[in-house]
Structure 1
Amino acid sequence: MNALLGLFITVVMVFGGYMLAGGKLGIILHSLPYEMMMIGGAAMGAFIAGNSFSTIKHVGSDIMAVFKGPKWKKNDYRDLLCLMHDLVNVLRQSPVDVEAHIEAPQESAIFRKYPKIQKDHYVVELICDTIRSMIMNFDNVYQVEELLEKQLETMEEEALHGAHALQNMADALPALGIVAAVLGVIKTMASIDKPPEVLGQMIGGALVGTFLGVFLAYGIVGPFAAYVKHVREEEHSFYSLIREVLVASLHQHPANICIEVARRNAPKRVRPSFVEIDEALKESKKAAA
């Protein structure tokens, strides 16, 4: 919703101000298809040439995220903390019993209580791999913590590929706009024998290229890239909660303390309250009973 509102305001204010100042949209609308073909086509070609197929595919989901917002909502943070509480309790009681949950998470009674989390490959892999490492190196706290930190860094770097690709496109658009404007000037110079009013329209059309490149860069693509980065960073904080819980567990803190440490590190906008977590844990115990 914010993306659509921001885009609407940008377009209305730019073109509305232009028209109120006495500008005519006719020359812009006449040149727009050709300039967009040159600038947009060149930007798309450079984007394809400069990125792998997986990054290009990732950008598609990133653009959708601009309009949908972060994948993980407040309820998901609460569910993740409850899931981690259950797993830590089982791990403390019997490392052997927890193996059934981490070796077959799709069949685990604990994971099945939270289907959205269970369907996310990254969450399940991060939890299961880390608990498996904890069992294998139960006395080596810092080694497990280091492995977890490196895995999270890799995940964040991969998640931000799309934002970086969009930002690179935004950086290139003003220069591509100048390319289109130069071509317009070349066309104008080839018609130097035309009347002044015709030359004026041709020069105006050429300048549309410069305007369009700058407008797309700073009014649309650049803000989209910034918001994609924000969305992916907030989503990454969801995975970081897993680290907070398991690291606290490695240091032998009680399960409730591990959950509280992680809860306080959640982004404020989606952070569940202490009471919400407490009630959710009580409901989970009642359902299990």
Structure 2
Amino acid sequence: MFQIIGIVLLFGLVFGSYIMSGGNMGVILHAAPHEMMAIGGAGVASFLISNSMTVVKASGSGLAKVFAGPKWKASDYRDLLSLLFLLTKTMKSKGVIALESHIENPKDSSIFSRFPKVTKDHFAVDFICDTLRMMTMNLEDPHQVEDAMEKQLEKHHHESIAPAGALQSLADALPALGIVAAVLGVIKTMGAITEPPEILGEMIGGALVGTFLGVFLAYGLVGPFATRLKEIIEEEASYYRIIQSVLVAHLHGNAAQISVEIGRGSVPSGAQPSFLELEEALSAIPNEA
């Protein structure tokens, strides 16, 4: 919502100030199509040249994420903590054997099936199951498990953040591409140097539109999109950090309730459940679970 408001303000205030100062929108509207073709075409081409198809596709879905916001809501964090509570409690009270069926086949697990949104995130499920599997293999050194988890998180974060970096690189390139479009306009103008001053003035104005559009798109749209996408990805990464916090706390011998309380501290402030809210969520889990 705020992104849409920001875009409306961006166009309204920039072009509104231009019109109020006596600027002629006709010059911009006349030059914009072919200038945008040069800038946008060069931008798209450089974007394709510099990125893999995986990053290109992820950037497209990332733009949608800019407007939709983080996919994890407050209820999702409560569900994750409840899931981790059940898994660690089962492991501590019933032993490794009781947990194996859940981590080997999470799709058919009575524990995982209680939290469908969590199970839709393949990395979260694999991350949980792989870590618990390491624990069942008698890997007793908490630091080894923590190091292995950290490497998985770093790899996943590096891949997730790539679209934001790609968009930022495009934003950095757009002002220079705007200059390219402007130089082409100047070349065109110099080829018509014998024309009357009013025609030359319009041609020079059209050429300068290229510089304007390159800077405007870079700092008004694409750059802020990249910044917002990076912010969202960083916030979503905390979801996986919670898994790490809870499972490491469990590995250090803490009770299931203490482990999830440690994980609660890693939840982003805007979505963090209170101690009582988490207690109520855990109490609402049926005993047979």
Give the alignment's TM-score, normalised by structure 1: 0.98
SS of 1:109's equivalent? coil
Please say if residues 81 and 263 of structure 1, whose CA atoms lie closer than 8 Å, have aligned partners that are also in contact. yes
Cα deviation digits, residues 69-90 of structure 1 (max 9, x gap): 0011110000000000000001
Question: C-alpha separation between the residues in 2 aligned to 1:60 and 1:48?
Answer: 12
Structure 1 partner of 2:157: 156
Cα deviation digits, residues 90-138 of structure 1 (max 9, x gap): 1112111111100010000111111011111011000000100111134
Structure 2 partner of 1:137: 138
Please say if residues 237 and 266 of structure 1, whose CA atoms lie closer than 8 Å, have aligned partners that are also in contact. yes
Question: C-alpha separation between the residues in 2 aligned to 1:236 and 1:230?
Answer: 10
Structure 1 partner of 2:214: 213
Aligned pairs for 1:121-270 within 5 A: 121-270=122-271
Shift of 1:285: 3.0
Q: How many residues align?
A: 288
Please say if residues 117 and 123 of structure 1, whose CA atoms lie closer than 8 Å, have aligned partners that are also in contact. yes
Question: C-alpha separation between the residues in 2 aligned to 1:92 and 1:188?
Answer: 78
Counterpart AA for 1:284? I
CA RMSD of aligned residues (A): 0.9
Counterpart AA for 1:197? E
SS of 1:243's equivalent? helix
Counterpart AA for 1:188? T
Shift of 1:273: 1.2
Please say if residues 137 and 144 of structure 1, whose CA atoms lie closer than 8 Å, have aligned partners that are also in contact. no
Please say if residues 63 and 224 of structure 1, whose CA atoms lie closer than 8 Å, have aligned partners that are also in contact. yes
Unaligned runs of 5+ in 1: none
Question: C-alpha separation between the residues in 1 aligned to 2:69 and 2:18?
Answer: 32
Please say if residues 48 and 56 of structure 1, whose CA atoms lie closer than 8 Å, have aligned partners that are also in contact. yes
Counterpart AA for 1:253? N
Question: C-alpha separation between the residues in 2 aligned to 1:47 and 1:68?
Answer: 23
Shift of 1:238: 0.5
Structure 2 partner of 1:63: 63
Unaligned runs of 5+ in 2: none
Please say if residues 170 and 216 of structure 1, whose CA atoms lie closer than 8 Å, have aligned partners that are also in contact. yes
SS of 2:254's equivalent? coil
Shift of 1:248: 0.4
Structure 1 ranges of 4+ moved more than 3 A: none
Counterpart AA for 2:243? I
Cα deviation digits, residues 38-95 of structure 1 (max 9, x gap): 0000000000011001010110110010111001111000000000000000111211
Structure 2 partner of 1:92: 92
Cα deviation digits, residues 240-286 of structure 1 (max 9, x gap): 10000001011111111111111111110111111111111111135
Counterpart AA for 1:45? A
Structure 2 partner of 1:18: 18
Question: C-alpha separation between the residues in 2 aligned to 1:122 and 1:3?
Answer: 29
Structure 2 partner of 1:76: 76
Counterpart AA for 2:240? Y
Aligned pairs for 1:94-113 within 5 A: 94-113=95-114
Structure 1 partner of 2:275: 274
Please say which of residues 84-93 and 135-144 is displaced more in the overlay: 135-144
Question: C-alpha separation between the residues in 1 aligned to 2:108 and 2:203?
Answer: 68
Question: C-alpha separation between the residues in 1 aligned to 2:189 and 2:106?
Answer: 67
SS of 2:284's equivalent? helix
Percent identity, please.
52
Please say if residues 66 and 227 of structure 1, whose CA atoms lie closer than 8 Å, have aligned partners that are also in contact. yes
Question: C-alpha separation between the residues in 2 aligned to 1:138 and 1:98?
Answer: 16
